[in-house]
């Protein structure tokens, strides 16, 4: 076991009174928590009492989660409701809670827009996880030679291969090194399969990104052996079209894990705890720095405590819902050990590290500092 075991109520994790939820915050949080519990409880209940296969059979079943609700999607038959009257009460009193909020992209007339390459690329910079994309640098080409070989003829126009890199037109989503050490253990779990992915994007003249290659990697079969990998490029026929779709699905699966385990839990919640404790111990509540920090720190310790009870604990929501499963927290800890640096966490340092922003001399804040010094 690599995650904490659940701390059962009525013995919650201690949180200082200054950091505990106020009444309004507690009410809003509890409402969201009830919704999440129902979404998790009903499928688990159906799986335990019904032998039917409730896997999605098509996109229309996913649409029903938003249109009809969770119970209808799962095909909860009337005789099962009669056997379990309390389920009927849940269905009648919580119909709105059992229906998922419809994403805006599905509520438009172009409900399959999320399958398009341009939408896949847009979400890399404007989706829920916009902090992973980086500009491809010449120094990285030898490290990712497998995928760069595939783009020599894929980058549009005349900017091919090394020219596209030098002209700052190639960007990358790289989840490969985060996932690869854990792929073998993930694929050994029932119902879970994954690759370690890299995705390259080309910057079009109109300022949008286009995916040009996806690498799906696996660890070597034995020490010293070559590492198997497959590089997919935009499709030319029906077969390659569905391989390309499958590749994008694996990228999305990787990204969901990195977003939740690294960019959300680790970088936003866990790494903040020592700074919150230090601020309370070392700074007066009247200190100007404390006043600036307090809105950003507030409720974090309480949220983290609740997360340890039901989200990141062993067999919790995160391990159940995300592809890495039981190695989720180990992946998060490994990223902290090998990649997390305090001096890269703020802005503009993070943008410069990922090369999506020019050096500081071109930043307005730097020009402001220079102007201020010129008056002294």
Check residue 253 and give its pLDDT.
96
Contact yes or no for 321/328 (Cβ under 8 A):
no
pLDDT digits (tens, 9 = 90+) for 186-221: 999 998 999 999 999 999 989 899 999 999 999 988
List for the chain the helix, strand, coil content (%; round to 5). Answer: 55, 5, 35
Count of domains in the chain? 1
DSSP per-residue codes, 54-66: -S--SHHHHHHHH
Q: Calculate the alpha carbon distances from 246 to 216, 231, 241, 252 in Å.
A: 10, 12, 9, 10
Residue with more model confidence, 195 or 63: 195
The mean pLDDT of 349-369, rounded to a whole number, is: 67
Confirm whether 9 is domain-assigned. no
Confirm whether 58 is domain-assigned. yes
Residue with more model confidence, 98 or 355: 355
Confirm whether 37 is domain-assigned. yes
Confirm whether 272 is domain-assigned. no
Whether 264 shows a pLDDT value over 90: the answer reads yes
Query: In this structure, what are the phi and psi dihedrals at residue 171, rounded to the nearest 5 degrees?
Result: -125, 160
Residue with more model confidence, 372 or 109: 109
Confirm whether 258 is domain-assigned. no
Residues 6+ apart with CB under 8 A from 158: none
Name the CA dihedral angle for 90, 92, 93, 95, rounded to a multiple of 10 degrees.
Answer: 90
Domain that holds residue 30: 18-111
Confirm whether 25 is domain-assigned. yes
Confirm whether 219 is domain-assigned. no
Name which of 221, 214, 138, 224 is nearest 176 in CA terms. 214
% pLDDT > 70, the chain? 66
Averaged pLDDT of the chain: 78
Check residue 374 and give its pLDDT.
46
Whether 132 shows a pLDDT value over 80: the answer reads yes
Residue with more model confidence, 18 or 120: 120
Please state the pTM of the whole predicted model.
Answer: 0.79
Whether 111 shows a pLDDT value over 90: the answer reads no
- In 29-141, DSSP assigns E strands to 134-135
Name the CA dihedral angle for 287, 293, 295, 298, rounded to a multiple of 10 degrees.
Answer: -100
| Lowest mean pLDDT, pick from 56-65, 183-192, 254-263, 331-340 | 56-65
Confirm whether 53 is domain-assigned. yes
């Amino acid at each position: 076991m690599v995650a904490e075991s659940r701390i059962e109520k009525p013995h919650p994790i201690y949180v200082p009174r200054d950091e505990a939820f106020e009444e309004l915050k507690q009410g809003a949080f509890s409402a969201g928590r009830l919704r999440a519990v129902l979404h998790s409880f009903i499928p688990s209940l159906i799986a335990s009492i019904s032998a039917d296969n409730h896997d999605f059979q098509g996109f229309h079943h996913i649409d029903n989660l938003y249109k009809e609700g969770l119970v209808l999607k799962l095909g909860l038959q009337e005789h099962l409701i009669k056997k379990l009257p309390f389920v009927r009460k849940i269905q009648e009193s919580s119909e709105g809670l059992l229906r998922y909020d419809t994403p805006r992209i599905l509520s438009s007339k172009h409900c399959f827009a999320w399958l398009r390459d341009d939408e896949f690329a847009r979400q890399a910079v404007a989706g829920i996880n916009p902090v992973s994309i980086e500009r491809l640098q010449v120094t990285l080409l030898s490290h990712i030679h497998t995928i760069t070989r595939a783009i020599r003829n894929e980058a549009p126009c005349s900017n091919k291969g090394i020219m596209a890199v030098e002209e700052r037109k190639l960007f990358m989503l790289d989840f490969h090194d985060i996932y690869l050490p854990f792929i073998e253990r993930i694929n050994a779990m029932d119902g879970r399969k994954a690759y370690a992915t890299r995705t390259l994007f080309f910057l079009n003249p109109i300022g949008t990104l286009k995916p040009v290659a996806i690498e799906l990697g696996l660890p070597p079969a034995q020490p010293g052996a070559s590492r198997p990998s497959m590089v997919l490029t935009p499709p030319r026929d029906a077969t390659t079209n569905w391989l390309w779709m499958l590749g994008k699905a694996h990228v999305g699966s990787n990204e969901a894990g990195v977003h939740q385990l690294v960019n959300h839990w680790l970088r936003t919640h866990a790494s903040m705890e020592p700074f919150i404790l230090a601020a309370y111990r070392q700074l007066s509540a009247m200190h100007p720095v404390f006043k600036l920090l307090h809105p950003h720190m507030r409720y974090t310790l309480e949220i983290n405590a609740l997360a340890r009870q039901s989200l990141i604990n062993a067999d919790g929501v995160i391990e159940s819902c995300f592809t890495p499963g039981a190695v989720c927290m180990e992946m998060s800890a490994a990223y902290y050990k090998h990649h997390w640096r305090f001096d890269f966490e703020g802005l503009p340092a993070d943008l410069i590290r990922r090369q999506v922003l020019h050096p500081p001399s071109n930043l307005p804040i730097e020009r402001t500092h220079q102007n201020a010094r010129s008056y002294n």
